[in-house]
Amino acid sequence: MKIAQTKEWSDFHEAKVGGGYSKWPNEPMLKTLFGSYSANPIKPEPGWRVLDVGCGFGNNLTPFADLGCECHGVEIEPKICSIAENILASRGYQAKVVEGQNRALPYPSAYFDLLLSVATIHYESTQENVIAALREFRRVTKPGGRVYIATVGPNHKIQSRAEVLGDHRYLIRNYDFRNGQEFFFFDNERYFEYYLKKVFDQVEVGRVTENLFSMTVDHMIALCG
């Protein structure tokens, strides 16, 4: 299974080790999973197994580690896995980060209480791959467990600058080292919900848009079960 731009991502993470990496958890994730905004809210508990798919520098695992959860992460390249583990350890957190990807998670079925996918699902460039990734998320999640998914929205600059290829497929342009890569964007909340309901029985969808001076940050979020 080919993974695009593995070396570029590895170089990106290595360049940030000196201190330029993200340290804080994703705010909409915190509000969704630790607040009372969902119609069917959850309350993470000590001892839960939590997986962050595409965990980056591990920042989204820190609130769960604080709570006493068993934390796991997946990244696309062994060097990135080591970087994430070392950063978390330097901050006093323990987590196991292993090589994997959306459609191939190296865990047994029904293993996790909670799965996080923050800005990873759109890297699947076709409808078939998106659905396969969602099914893999569901496979490793326990019955009654929950899946939190976030993806960029149409007003985010990575999508608004991209070239439309058709059928939710976009070619990234004028952005960063991802230029030339094909992404799958859901275009609006209704399409996001439509695809999620192909796999999950319970789906809540929201959207967070912020105009932050020099750019607009736009994300669609979902809590699934």
What's the average pLDDT block by block, 10 residues per block, for the chain (225 residues)?
71 81 92 90 95 97 98 96 96 96 98 98 96 98 98 94 95 93 96 98 96 91 97
pTM, two decimal places: 0.95
pLDDT number for residue 4: 65
* Nearest-angstrom CA–CA distance, 55 and 80: 9
Report CA 108 to chain centroid distance, whole Å.
20
Domain assignment of residue 81, yes or no: no
**Considering its fold, how many domains does the chain have in total?**
1
Whether 79 maps to a domain, the answer reads no
pLDDT of residue 10: 83
Residue 68 lies in a domain: no
Q: What is the pLDDT of residue 18?
A: 76
Q: Determine how many CB atoms are found less than 10 A away from the CB of residue 13.
A: 21
Note whether residue 74 is domain-resident: no
The H-or-E segment that residue 192 falls in is helix 189-196
Determine the pLDDT at residue 30.
Answer: 95
Give the integer Cα–Cα distance in Å for 223 and 29. Answer: 10
Does residue 75 fall inside a structural domain? no
Residue 137 lies in a domain: yes
What angle do helix axes 189-196 and 127-140 make, rounded to 10 degrees? Answer: 60
Segments forming the whole domain that contains residue 216 = 101-224
Residue 179's domain is classified under what CATH number? Answer: 3.40.50.150
Q: In what order do the strands lie in the sheet with 96-99?
A: 96-99, 70-75, 49-53, 112-118, 141-152, 215-224, 203-212
Residue among 114, 120, 37 at smallest CA distance from 80: 120
Q: Is residue 162 part of a domain?
A: yes
Note the residue count of the chain: 225
Q: What is the DSSP string of 118-172?
A: ES-GGG--SHHHHHHHHHHHHHHEEEEEEEEEEEE-TTSHHHHTSEEEETTEEE-
Q: Provide long-range contacts, Cβ within 8 A and 24+ apart, for 88-92.
A: 88/58, 88/61, 88/62, 91/23, 91/62
84 within domain boundaries: no
